[in-house]
Structure formats: structure tokens, C-alpha cells
Amino acid sequence: MTRKIVQRTVAACDRFPDDLHPVLRRVYAARAIESTDELDYSLQRLLSPSLLGGMTAAVELLQQAVTNGQRIMVVGDFDADGATSCALSLRALRAMGAVDVHYLVPNRFEYGYGLTPEIVAVAAERQPDLIMTVDNGISSIDGVAAARQCGIRVLITDHHLPGEQLPAAEAIVNPNLRGDPFPSKNLAGVGVAFYVMLALRARLRERGWFEEAGLPEPNLAVWLDLVALGTVADVVPLDGNNRILVHQGIQRIRAGQCVPGIRALLENAGRNLQRVVATDMGFGVGPRLNAAGRLDDMSLGIECLLTDDRQAARQMAARLDTFNRDRKDIESDMQTQALQVIAGLDLKDEQLPVGLCLFEPDWHQGVIGILASRIKERFHRPVIAFARSGEGELKGSARSVSGLHIRDALEAVATRHPGLIDKFGGHAMAAGLGLAEHNYPAFAAAFNDEVVRHLSADDLTGVIYSDGELSDEELSLDTAQLLRDASPWGQGFPAPLFEGDFTVLGYRVVGEKHLKMTLQPAQGSCQIDGIAFNTAELPADCRQVRMAYRLDANEFRGIVSPQLIVEYVEALS
């Protein structure tokens, strides 16, 4: 799909000190940074836990459970955010003196998402006094009711958007509750769990618990590596508060002060621990961790993050890597089938449904989210991929584009067509839903109608926002290292992306599907390597190209050199 490259609007740069590199000056200005204070990522600048609504009741429940030796059951989710939330909560609660704390994570193929009545029944067999959900629960109305019928108190910690009705839990901590005063609405599930643990530690300190129990007061910052991983992997916007959490976690990892599981997963992904950046967590560690929940059981991922045994962590990381390779094979087959289905419609890209729904009976329900994301990127429109989840039932995973709040769109469809959707939930850019298979055709039509109400033809044009061009002198290792050190970059605070015309001096395919190139700027004389992932060829006889790229420092066999990570390439001749 041809895309349009648009340079970001740059506000005045005079708010920054004179010694700030000119490339960083325009990058920060284009991201609406008002002053260098916003780039201070020290822990002292974190928002206070007291600003989160529901925290007093939540801490009261946890304090009673910890100091009275009650049984706590942490119920997690089957993605990287859920796994890190679960591991963080267990590590922190045990360090604060909880002697009877366990976890339960639903298998997506048996119980589905969240605190369902079925997972409550499993939890009840272990007779917990308190269930604490992490990264789920805000839509678990029936599950919370089932827990209360069993005499089990429930604390919900979540970050997903709530529906009209809230579950009747004893306490709920979620920055996205209506009217919640917490300034940052972008906390991941692991971020919410971290804040709850901070507030609990403060309460226990205030009550003299650590002296009474003969325990050292734990430094919760030692687990910011888990917070960084879950935050980046869940692709939540990196606002100022999240950037502090991620930066601090990355710094701990670079210093070798991370849990053995994260170390093992990074090594398995071929990442240098001392040079780790946020994208390594998002593209190296996150997919390996997620693979367990997609194809099997996230318990393996959680155990990998919980163990303090390096050898055990390596063994579990190796198993997770195997799952990830299997996931890639399944995803590749599904993507081929999806493209064949779209090709069979015999429509030009602009004639495709604006809201595109796809379903094949043999698709793997653990991989449909990735498939939806890949198809969305290719055709730049909202996509929902479906797979069978049971007899006569479908599960859908939705991904959206700028301009359409996907969860709100599903809510609108459900309102206009009662009974069409069984359940749904999610965020602005990603959501999940379930419906009866016989309702699929009607839903696909209703979803397209709803999307058409919100998106115009211009919205379906893939736009790449760039930070301008780099000169010969700026296409250097020093600039690349400068940009790495200025991270964390991520969702809502995108990594610098530049544009320019280049001459392709030579190229070859590496790893079967990646294009390795030697490039020279059209108006320059330097030569630099570039790589375009998942792009196996250039148009025949094409030597003049326009590119959108990231400048990075590439390490190979101990040698570090500048390299362009090509995000988009189009032929000029």
C-alpha cells in the first residue's frame, strides 16, 4: 500500500537549553515537550499513589490479608502485561510478609478472559480469603458475584475501560473509572499493580508492620524491570509518568539488576543486556512471553518471571522461544489465508469494507490478535479477525486506526443491534469480543456500517509522520547513540522517524525475508547500511528510492555501527 510521508509539526524550540543537540530539539518539539523538566525521569517525579481512586479500600483489604496471614489469590491475564502484573504482585506481597499468596491465570481456551464464574469456581477450591485481579476484572460482573456467593472478597486492579455497570467488588483500582482523579490514564495493568504495592508498603510502614514482623522494608524499585516490560509490551501510551517507569526499569536491566527470567529472555532474543532499549522489550521479550498465553498456558511465562534460579529461567525461556517460533509459523499460514480471502473479493484496496472482518474455521484463536494487527497495517483500516472458540461460538480480536475508538464502536454496534454481540471489551486501538457464529455475517455488515460513520477516505490513507531529513553529518553513530540514550520511545511518544531520498548501491536478502542494503543519500556522499524487515525485494532495476527510517546503532560481532531501520520504501526510478 502506498503511503504518504508527512513531516511532523514542530513547535518553537527556544524552550530548550542551547547545548541540546539540534536533532533532539526538533524531535522533542514535535512531541509537544514543553520543557526539559518533562525529560527528567527520576523516581521523585512519579505521580503519587494517593491520587488513584479506590486505593484506601484496596490497601485496607491487602493489609488485613497480609497481617492476618490470610490466603490471597492473584488472578492474572494471559498476556505479557498480565504475566508481569502477576509476578510483580506475588514478589511484592511475599516481600511484605504475605505467607499464603498464590496465583491463578485462566487458560484462554478453557475459561476465556478475566474473572469468570468458571475461574472463580477453580479458585474457590483453594479457599482464598481474597481474590486480587491484575490486568482484568473491570468487566467481570458475573465473576465477582460468584466470588461473593462463595464468601470471597474481591479487589480489582485493572486499566481497561469500564462498561456502564461495575462489578460489586469490595475495592476497585482503575485510573480509567469515570471521575477517577489520577492524572495519567495510560497506566498498564502492571503499572496499576505497582501503584497498589507502593500504597500497601506505605500503609504497612505507617502501622509498624515491618518492625513487628522482623522484615526489612522492601525496595519496590527492584521490580521496575517487570513494570517496564509489561508497560511496553501492552503498547500503552508512554506519557510522562509511564516514561519514568519504563526508563527506570530499563536502567536496572542495563545494570544487570533484573529478574533472571527477563535476563534469560533477552539473551534468548540475542539482545545485549547493557544496550537494551524499550523496543527490545516490545519486540524481543514481549512476543516470547505472549507466546505461552497464545498457544498454551501463561503459567510458564509467570513462572519464568518468578524464579530466582538462573538455570531454571534459561530452560523456561528456551521453551517460550519454541512457542514463539511455533506462533510465527501459525501466524504466517493464517496471514497467507487472510490475504487469499481478501484477494478473492476481487476488489481494489479502496473498495474493501472500511471495517474489515475476517474468519476462517481453522484459525487459531490465540493468534488472531496478531493477524488483525498485520492486516490492519497492510490495508490501513480497522480489522477484526475471528476464530472458533467453542461449539457455535466465535472469538474476535480487533485492531483499529487513528480516528476510530474500537471499543466504543463495538459498544455502538451492541446498542444498535441487541443480541448481536455476546460480550466485548478493550481500548481505543484494540479490543476483543465474542458472538455466535451464525451472527457473523450480520455483525460484519453492522461493524462496517459503524466504521463508515466515523472514518473518511482520507482516514484510510496510510500516513507516516517523519521528523524531517538528516544531513550527511547527522547520519552517524554519535547521532544514533544519542537517540538511543534519549529513549524510552514507544506508543504515544514515537521513536524518531526520518525521511530522505537514497541511491541503493547494493542489496541482498538475509534471513529469507529481510532486505539488507547499502545506501547513499541522494544529496550526500556518505554510505550507510540499511535493513528493511519483512521486505524481500525492491522493484526491478530500482536504484533511486524514498525512505522513512529510524537511525539506530547496530552491534554485530562486537562492532557497533550506524544503521537505518527502514520502515517504508518506495521507488523513485
Q: What is the pLDDT of residues 341-394, one digit of tens each?
A: 999 988 887 789 999 999 999 999 999 999 999 999 889 999 999 999 988 999
For the chain, percent of residues with pLDDT exceeding 90: 79
pTM of the model: 0.91
Q: Which CATH class is domain 345-460?
A: alpha beta
Contact criterion met (CB below 8 Å) for 480 and 493 = no
Give the model's pLDDT for residue 501: 95
- Residue pLDDT, tens place only, 57-71: 999 999 999 999 999
- Residue pLDDT, tens place only, 187-197: 999 999 999 99
Q: What are phi and psi of 48, to 5 degrees?
A: -75, 140
- Three-class DSSP labels, 183-234: CCCCCCHHHHHHHHHHHHHHHHHHCCHHHHHCCCCCCHHHHHHHHHHHHHHC
Half-sphere exposure of 121 (CA within 13 A, CB side): 5
Give the span between the Cα atoms of 84 and 306, in whole angstroms.
Answer: 9
Domain spans of the chain?
A: 44-319, 345-460, 465-571
Give the span between the Cα atoms of 280 and 300, in whole angstroms.
Answer: 21
Assigned C-alpha cell, 486: 534519549
Q: Which of 222, 202, 187, 192 is nearest to 132 (CA)?
A: 192
For the chain, percent of residues with pLDDT exceeding 70: 98
Count, residues in the chain: 573
CA 256 to chain centre: 23
AA letter at 207? R
Q: 2 pLDDT band (50/70/90 cuts)?
A: low
Give the model's pLDDT for residue 563: 96
Q: Which CATH architecture has domain 465-571?
A: Beta Barrel (2.40)
Query: The cell 471489551 sits on which residue?
Result: 425
Give the model's pLDDT for residue 293: 87
Strand order in the sheet with 383-390: 356-359, 383-390, 393-399, 430-436, 423-426
Radius of gyration of the chain (CA): 24
Assigned C-alpha cell, 434: 465474542
Is residue 507 predicted with pLDDT exceeding 90? no
Kind and range of the H or E run holding 246: helix 240-254
Give the model's pLDDT for residue 425: 85
**Residues 439-466: what's their mean pLDDT?**
92
Q: 11 pLDDT band (50/70/90 cuts)?
A: low
Contact criterion met (CB below 8 Å) for 350 and 457 = yes
Give the model's pLDDT for residue 35: 84
Give the model's pLDDT for residue 540: 65
Q: Which CATH architecture has domain 44-319?
A: Alpha-Beta Complex (3.90)
Contact criterion met (CB below 8 Å) for 316 and 344 = no
Give the span between the Cα atoms of 541 and 75, in whole angstroms.
Answer: 57
Contact criterion met (CB below 8 Å) for 225 and 258 = yes
Give the span between the Cα atoms of 279 and 77, in whole angstroms.
Answer: 22
Give the span between the Cα atoms of 453 and 77, in whole angstroms.
Answer: 33
**Residues 514-527: what's their mean pLDDT?**
90
Q: Output helix, strand, coil percentages for the chain, rounded to the nearest 5.
A: 45, 20, 35
Give the span between the Cα atoms of 382 and 384, in whole angstroms.
Answer: 7
Is residue 250 predicted with pLDDT exceeding 80? yes
Is residue 1 predicted with pLDDT exceeding 70? no
Give the model's pLDDT for residue 274: 92
Give the span between the Cα atoms of 484 and 274, in whole angstroms.
Answer: 12
AA letter at 508? R
AA letter at 486? A
- Residue pLDDT, tens place only, 137-151: 999 999 999 999 999
Give the span between the Cα atoms of 363 and 254, in whole angstroms.
Answer: 39
Q: 13 pLDDT band (50/70/90 cuts)?
A: low
- Residue pLDDT, tens place only, 528-547: 999 998 776 776 667 889 99
Q: What are phi and psi of 356, to 5 degrees?
A: -100, 120
**Residues 156-160: what's their mean pLDDT?**
96
Q: 110 pLDDT band (50/70/90 cuts)?
A: confident
- Selected residue with higher pLDDT from 5 and 217: 217
